[in-house]
Homo-oligomer: A and B are copies of this chain.
């Protein structure tokens, strides 16, 4: 992937002005998300684990339906180094992906847990169907108006609309003292 991106950048450089629009390392073709112009970052599934989360409440669509999600946050090489070193603000080139899934469960899994630990009444849930993925990309010049971060949200590879993306930065504002990143690096057991 890295080799392909470098090749693309090389072609861009040869073609002159095209180099300015060459994708950030890790990006590829596809529709750009509004406002920040970030494309779906192919290859993020091989990034490093920052942490995991769960979100419970009602669906954001306002349908009133229950929302139960399990989530993982991954970081590229630059971002994970910053997390581990405690570097703030994150350096340019840092990228974070937040993977969201519907929370699912399996009677067979719970049965196995009950056989192993009969007194514990354990209920296990796991990442079921994919919901969406969100990206944060650090470029302190390009995204100077939003704390140096560009934001993007994709569902089935398609970016969300402008109204959704307009919420990203204001929503992250309370995490200003952590360079607008809510996720903390989970300790290594």
Chain B residues with CB under 8 Å of A49's CB are 45, 49, 72, 74, 99
* CB pair B57 A70 closer than 8 Å: no
Q: Determine whether A122 belongs to the interface, using a CB cutoff of 8 Å to chain B.
A: yes
Nearest CB in chain B: distance from A83 CB, A: 11
* CB pair B123 A55 closer than 8 Å: yes
* CB pair A130 B187 closer than 8 Å: yes
Nearest CB in chain B: distance from A119 CB, A: 6
Give how many A residues have a beta carbon under 8 Å from the other chain's beta carbons: 61
Q: Determine whether A131 belongs to the interface, using a CB cutoff of 8 Å to chain B.
A: yes
> Per-residue 0/1 for A111-130: is the Cβ within 8 Å of any B Cβ (1 yes, 0 no)?
11101110111111111011
This chain: copies in complex: 2
Contact check: which of B51, B56, B122 meets A126 at CB < 8 Å? B51
Q: Determine whether A78 belongs to the interface, using a CB cutoff of 8 Å to chain B.
A: no
Q: Determine whether A52 belongs to the interface, using a CB cutoff of 8 Å to chain B.
A: yes
Nearest CB in chain B: distance from A55 CB, A: 5
* CB pair A53 B125 closer than 8 Å: yes
> Per-residue 0/1 for A18-47: is the Cβ within 8 Å of any B Cβ (1 yes, 0 no)?
000000000000000000000000000110
